[in-house]
Amino acid sequence: MESLRPTPPVFPLKALRRNSRHVRSAGFSLVEVLISIIVLSFGLLGMVGLQATALQSNRDAKLQSIAVNLARELAEIMRNNKDIALSSTSPYFGDFNSSPLAPASTSYCLNVATSTTACASTTEIASAEMTEWLSRVDSELPGAHVTVCSDSAPFDSNGIPQWTCGTGSGASTVIKIGWTRASTDRKSTNSTPLERATLPSVVLPVTAGSVQ
């Protein structure tokens, strides 16, 4: 009597080929998914970088607007005190770059406190105005630097604003304001390099005709 043995299944050759192709296709799909994840990760990193740049640009624009308004305010203050506004020895003039910002001679005679002595002269008024104005500049602009002078060349030969004040012909009263901002030079060894008011960011001329 013959022994009963199970007959091994016989798979057609075409079926085996289809199965092998299916396995290979599944493997390629996994690689494609991994590549897609990597590409998506790079895209997300780029979006994060753009977001950080946008936030920094918004902050710079806000500080620039604040500085322009402060410069215009000082120009109006000088116009209102025309008696000494154009004098190079007036309290309005000077290089103010040490925090807290303050004129050479501080005054608080414009305060409304009853114990404060009233301003006795236009020079004292100018000192009080500069004391209050510089205090606000110091609080609103980080690492602020202010220069008010009679300048014939507020820009160098390349059109770059400069802190130094020229005394040549055609000089006019100029208000210069700079502040500390994030640097775009990534060659710096510091991980977050800063430009500490290396150049004026706002240069506002107050012409002689404007002070009447």
Res 209: pLDDT:
53
Question: Per-residue b/e over 138-151, b at no fewer than 16 CB within 10 Å?
Answer: beebeebbbbbbbb
Contact 81, 126 (CB under 8 A): yes
> Contact, 95 vs 147, CB < 8 A?
yes
Nearest to 133 by CA among 211, 85, 67: 67
pLDDT at 62: 93
pLDDT in 10s for each residue of the chain, 212 residues: 555 566 655 555 555 455 555 555 545 577 777 888 888 887 777 777 777 777 777 888 999 999 999 999 999 999 888 878 877 688 999 999 988 999 988 998 888 765 667 888 888 999 999 999 999 999 999 999 999 998 989 999 899 999 999 877 778 889 999 998 876 655 555 555 677 778 999 999 986 554 44
DSSP 8-state symbol, 189: S
Give residue 211's pLDDT. Answer: 45
pLDDT score recorded for residue 69: 96
Is the bond preceding 103 in cis, omega lying within 30 degrees of 0? no
Please give the pLDDT value at position 47: 79
| pLDDT number for residue 9 | 57
Give Cα separations from 140 to 7, 59, 60 (angstroms): 91, 12, 13
Token pair for 176: 């210069």
pLDDT of residue 210: 46
- Strand, helix or coil at 149? strand
Distances (CA, A) of 66 to 11, 75, 159, 210: 81, 14, 23, 22
DSSP code string of 154-178: SB-TTS-B-SS---STT-EEEEEEE
